[in-house]
Every structure is written in structure tokens, then in C-alpha cells.
Structure 1
Amino acid sequence: MDFSAALPTFVITLREGVEAALVVGIVLALLKKAKQTKLNRWVYLGIVVGIIASGLVGLLIGWIFQLLSASNSPLGAVIEPFLEAAFGLGAIAMLSWMLIWMTQQAKSMKSQVEGAVNAALEKNTAAGWGIFTLIFIAVLREGFETVLFIIGKFQQGLIPTIGALSGLAVAAGIGVLLFKWGIKINIRRFFQIMGVLLLLIVAGLVISALGDLNEGMRTLSQMNRQSEGFCFYYERFAKNPSCILGPMVWDLSKILPQQQFPGLILRTLFGYTDKLYQVQAIAYVLFLFSIGGLYFRSLNSKTPVPQKNSKDPLTNTEKSASS
């Protein structure tokens, strides 16, 4: 059994899970400060319902995926790679947005969460539902992004799900270390490292999604003579061409095959392929320069630092959330 496919989802859920754990920890600390610990049950309920909802979304999307691609007709063989490409592109968009936007928002996470909790507490009768909604949305948002990524790698079976669950477990452990035991962890450095890994993982997903799209177009072009034109690269235009991805950039299948170690690890974690085509290479470089540039710019952007009260129990939390 190939457990290397669990690595990307482990990294993603670890990062996303820690971010959700920070929100949960901040809310619990604020409720303790406001002497409203009776509302803690709404926090835990939001966590459980958010995880269940994320799982149900994953099962629904997976069922639709299987239903559309399980046909015995030639059309089923065409639909599957197109679906994988579509979910891959969706995961690229969502994870890229999360990587940049959430990095910027995390710098003011504590103040945003504090404002939402205070607004909920002001509504005496609906305070519990307000807390529940805040936690539920935080957990569901992270879960949905992970579900999209897992579905994008659906052909790898249940192994990515194991990685996702492991990442959530470790993230929960980090949350306990931070808020229950008061152990100091450099969360800013953690998010920076996880962000770079995530950037490389999503860049690899660009290569994989384009490969799925190419396979779908190739299968479609072979169905009948009318669809032959979908593959517009031919031997007379380029040596060793793909269907729609242009000529081959490299063929390392004999030097570093993607089905053997260490190529297998590089493939599952960073999207390595032993046969890389021109469009894939260009898209990979453009993604790293554009999204990577925006990400590192967001890390370097400065935000005003609020004055901290040394007696405020949330001071360490605020430092941790500032990623």
C-alpha cells in the first residue's frame, strides 16, 4: 500500500487544522475571560458539526464523482479525467486564495474573532448560536478546501483521507499544547514553513490537473473521426508531443521514474512527473512566480502592532495567531 499519497493532505489539514485550532482557542479564552464558560459547549458542538458537515460534503462529491465516471460506456472513460482536472483546478483556486488571503487576515485574527465573540455575547438569547456559527464556519471552511484537494486526487483511493485525518489529529494536539498546557510554539514560523510546502504542493497540482486534462482530450479525440482535431499536436509539429500540452520538455522515466522511490514521493508531494510537457512547465513556473510572489509579499507586509496588556491572558494567543 502506497502511503506517500497521504503526505500532501497531511500537510494541508495540518496547516488548516492549526488555523482552526487558533480560532477555537481564542474563542475559549475569550469566553473564560468574560466568565461565560457555560457557552463552551457551543464551541465543541460547532467543531463536531463542522467536521461532520465537511465529511458529508466529501461523501456527496465523491458519490457524484463515482456516479459520473463509473459508466461502462466510452463516455465514462472521458468524464473521469475531466472531472479530476476540474476538481484539481478548483482545489488550486481555493488553496491559492486561502494561502494568500488567510495569510493577510491571520495578522488580525485575534481582533476579528474577539469582535465576533463580543457581538455574540451582546445578544444574550442568541449568544450560543453566534458562537456555534463562528466555530462551525471556521471548521467547515478548512474542511471544504481539504475535501476539494482529496477529490482532485480521487484516483489514489482512501490514502489521502488517512493523511487528512492524521493532519487534523496533529493540529488538534498543537491546539491542546498551545491553549491547555500553555506550551510556547513559534506559530509564525510554523505557518511560514507550511505555507511554502503548500505552495509547492499546489504548484504540483497544476501539473497534475493539466495532465488529467490532456488525458481527457486524448481519450475524447480517439472516440471518432469528428473529434480527432481535439489533439492539435502531431508528430509533424513536435517530437514526442502530447495531445494539448505541446512538445516534451524531459523524459526521466529511466533515470527517476515516478512510480519508484524517490520519484514516487516527489510525485505525490510536489506533482513531479517523469514526462513533463511544455505547457505544464510554463504553467508551473507562472504559478510559482505569480501566487508565490503574492504569498511572500503578504508575509512581508507590515501591519500596526496593537498595545498589549501584560495581564491579558490572550497575549500569547494573539502572538500565536499573527501568522
Structure 2
Amino acid sequence: MLASAVIVFREVLEAALIVGIVLAATKGLEGSRRWVAAGVLAGLIGSAAIAGSAEALSDALSGMGQEVFNASILGLAVIMLGWHTIWMSSHGREMAAEMKRVGHAVSMGSRPLSVLAVVVGVAVLREGAETVLFVFGVSASGESGKLATITGCAVGLGAGITVGILLYRGLLAIPSRHLFTVTTWLVTLLAAGMAAQAVTYLSAAGLIEMPTQPLWDTSWLLPENSIGGRLLHTLVGYMDRPSAGQLAAYGATLLGITGLARVVSRRTA
């Protein structure tokens, strides 16, 4: 539940900020709200279609072995989460500036109002498609049931929209960069935990060989199946009896994402 809530919150907040920037840049322009609303609706419809396709793909590939399928989904989710984190570290400000330029151009009459629907629709569709993939990866990890995942998505959706509205109206004093810093670390840790889970599935399917002997055992202190253990497992990928393969996958993913994000950010700066 927490994993899906964090991911949905992050993606919805990004989409809400883009919509907010466009609305602020075209404030007072007649008809702009209708075109933005049309773009949001189109993006949501496209995201729903992608979600339906993902479910159909899951049913079609269920015969290939549940472990292999789950590992594939988790691996793809890790790659996408890493790419998203690295891309946002270097292009987040550029994207916000571009949205402001588009809104200004529409307000000045140099670009048609329909452009608003296009840029907003593409933004919502992109964030929605990523959300579908990431939540699908959370489901594949088997950490929570369907009801818990849906509840987490609902919580993340509501929180993301609420925070986006508050930021747009200037009622929230927290700078958006701080919010994204926190959520970026949470998403990176989630990706590392997914990578560790993926190698576990691959090992169970017999596709890779890795030592199963745990490097340490903290189940006496904080069992992974306890409330606190599950909370930490969801947020930071905590394992009470990690193997060398799981720890290697976790560390490699964590170092890879954070290292590449810093390199790309410095080059962009």
C-alpha cells in the first residue's frame, strides 16, 4: 500500500504542477480552462487504455512462469524508475520553464489555445503511463494484495492532487524542490528494493545462481513480516535475512541511480 501510495503521489504531483504552471501562465485568458480540462481528460483516457493493456498483457504471459514474469515486470519497473529519476534531475526545471513559455505564447496570441490541451494531455498521459507500470511492478513484487494496492493508489492520488492545488494557490509554504527531493529518495529506495526482489524471483526460477545463505539475521530484532518490518521493507527495502545476491542488486541499483543522476545533473548545470 505504501509503495503504491508513494509512487502515485509522486507522479500525480508532477502532473499537477505542470497543469498548475499552465493555468497560472494563462490566467484570465478566456477559454484556456476548457482546453486544459480537455487535455487532462484526454490524458486520463489514454492512461486508462494503457492500464487495460497492461492487465491484458499480464493474462497473456501468465503461462511463461509466474516467477519469470514477475521478475521481468520488476526489472522493467526498476529501469523506468531509474530513468525517470535521472531524467527529472536534469530536465525538471527545463520542463517547468517550457510550460511557462507555452502558456505565455498562448496568452500573447502567438500560439492557438488548442496547444494547451496538447501539452497538458501529453504530460498527464506520460505520468499516467509511468504510474501504471510502476504500480504493476509493485503488484508483481507480491508485497500487498489488490485491495491494499488500490487503497494506496487512491491515497497517493488524493494527496498528489491536494498538494498540487495548495502549491498552485500559494497556500503551501514548502518549496516544491524539497518535496521532490524527499520523493526522489523514496522512489530510488523503492527501485532498489524491487531489484532485490527481482533477483530473488530469477533465482527461484533457476535462471540465475546466487548464494542463499543470509549475510546477517535481524529477525530477532525486527522481523520482516512485522508491522515495522513491512513498513521499512516498503519504504527502504529492508530485509531481515538478506543474501549476497539481494544485497548486491540493492546496492548496485541504489548507487547506479544516484550516481548517474548526479553526473547528469552536473553536466546539465
Same fold (TM over 0.5): yes
CA distance in 1, matches of 2:22, 2:203: 47
Note if 1:196 corresponds to 2:196.
no
Q: Matches of 1:54 and 1:157 in 2, distance apart?
A: 22
Query: Among the aligned pairs, what percent are the same residue?
Result: 31
CA RMSD, 1 decimal:
2.4
1:104-159 superposed Cα distances (whole Å, 9 cap, x missing partner): 111223321133345665343xx31x211211111121122221122123243322
**One-letter code aligned to 2:173:** K
The structure whose Rg is larger is 1
CA distance in 1, matches of 2:201, 2:85: 24
Aligned to 1:106: 92
Q: What does residue 7 of structure 1 align with?
A: 2
- Given the alignment of the two structures, is residue 284 of structure 1 paired with residue 250 of structure 2, yes or no? yes
Task: Tell me which of 126, 146, 150 is aligned to 2:135.
Answer: 150
Answer yes or no: is the 8 Å Cα contact 2:90–2:268 preserved in 1: no
How many Å apart are 1:188 and its aligned residue?
1.3
Give 1:169-248 correspondences, 5 Å limit.
Answer: 169-180=158-169, 182-217=171-206, 244-248=209-213
Counterparts of 1:180 and 1:46 in 2: how far apart (Å)? 21
Q: Residues 80 and 294 of structure 1: is their aligned pair in 2 closer, same or farther, counting only changes over 3 Å? A: same
Give the superposition deviation at 1:251.
5.7
Q: Counterpart amino acid of 1:115?
A: R
- Describe how 1:9-24 pairs up with structure 2 within 5 A: 9-24=4-19
Q: Residue by residue, what CA displacement relative to the aligned partner does 1:187-244 show, whole Å, maximum 9, x if unpaired?
A: 1111111111111111111111111222222xxxxxxxxxxxx5xxxxxxxxxxxx62
> Does the 8 Å contact 1:47/1:135 carry over to 2?
yes
Q: Return the letter of the residue paired with 2:25.
A: L
Kindly state the Cα deviation for residue 254 of structure 1 after the two structures are TM-superposed: 4.5
Structure 1 stretch displaced more, 270-279 or 203-212: 270-279
For the structure 1 residues 265 and 182, does the alpha-carbon distance in structure 2 shift closer, same or farther, using more than 3 Å as the test? closer
CA–CA separation in structure 2 for the residues paired with 1:56 and 1:253: 44
Give the TM-score taking structure 1 as reference length. 0.73
2:24 equivalent to 1:29: yes
Please give the TM-score of this superposition, normalised by the length of structure 2: 0.86
How many pairs were matched up?
A: 262
**Structure 1 gap ranges (5+):** 1-5, 70-75, 218-229, 231-242, 304-323
